[in-house]
């Protein structure tokens, strides 16, 4: 079974246990002849794939009434995989979604690590620090690096922990945030697992 999670810059494939990426800018989906089950947040790619019978859009097999209209399909698929928990997808942006008893309760979007570091640097070159993920969030900082790290991480930490639910981390920076959310489960294939669940539930394989 060939799965593909399409973002703004890359096609992320999973072929069995083999994971690989192709650039949206250079990859030609017409070259793929096998059946591919996909999700996509890329409107341009969506229009290119619409006429290809071997590319199966899994969004058509989800009850979207449980979610809001502009919610990314990657977030929706992750929520479909979780019965109770807070899902943190730590990528270029950080999305946080709450699922209770299998129903999406709401969520929010937070700047990713690189984006937030650049925002501090744009304020002043004196704030051009990387974040300290080993920071103790129960102690007020006494240096500039820890001060910006605390401002960024403590806000996110406090909101997530307020829900008092299991935490699932996914995305490229999941292991970094594991340092902050020490009891969280890291699942780098959460979205692909959600895609498999949708395929099985819809019996379309």
Q: Which residues are catalytic?
A: 74
- Separation between Cα atoms, residue 73 and residue 64, nearest integer Å: 10
Q: Which two tokens stand for residue 94?
A: 């950080």
- Separation between Cα atoms, residue 205 and residue 199, nearest integer Å: 6
Helix (H) / strand (E) containing 146: helix 144-161
| Residue 58: closest CA among 108, 102, 6, 20 | 6
* Region for residue 85 given its phi and psi (left: phi exceeds 0; alpha: psi -120 to 50; beta: otherwise): left
Angle of helix 73-81 relative to helix 190-202, nearest 10 degrees, comes to 80
Q: What is the CA radius of gyration of the chain?
A: 19
Q: Mind spelling out the 3-state secondary structure of 183-197?
A: CCEECCCHHHHHHHH
């Amino acid at each position: 079974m060939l799965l593909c999670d399409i973002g703004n810059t890359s096609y992320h494939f999973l072929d069995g246990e083999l994971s690989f990426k192709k650039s949206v800018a250079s990859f030609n989906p017409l070259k793929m002849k096998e059946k591919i089950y996909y999700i996509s947040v890329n409107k341009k790619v969506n229009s290119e794939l619409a006429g290809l019978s071997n590319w199966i859009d899994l969004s058509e097999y989800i009850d979207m009434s449980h979610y809001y209209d502009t919610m990314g399909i990657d977030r929706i698929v992750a929520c479909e995989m979780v019965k109770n928990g807070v899902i943190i997808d730590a990528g270029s942006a950080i999305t946080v979604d709450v699922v209770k008893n299998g129903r999406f309760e709401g969520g929010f979007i937070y700047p990713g690590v690189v984006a937030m570091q650049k925002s501090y640097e744009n304020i002043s070159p004196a704030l051009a620090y990387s974040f300290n993920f080993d920071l103790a969030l129960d102690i007020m900082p006494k240096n500039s690096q820890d001060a910006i790290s605390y401002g960024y991480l403590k806000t996110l930490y406090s909101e997530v922990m307020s829900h008092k639910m299991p935490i699932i981390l996914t995305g490229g920076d999941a292991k970094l945030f594991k340092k902050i959310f020490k009891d969280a489960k890291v699942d780098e294939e959460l979205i692909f697992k959600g895609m498999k669940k949708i395929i099985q539930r819809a019996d379309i394989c």
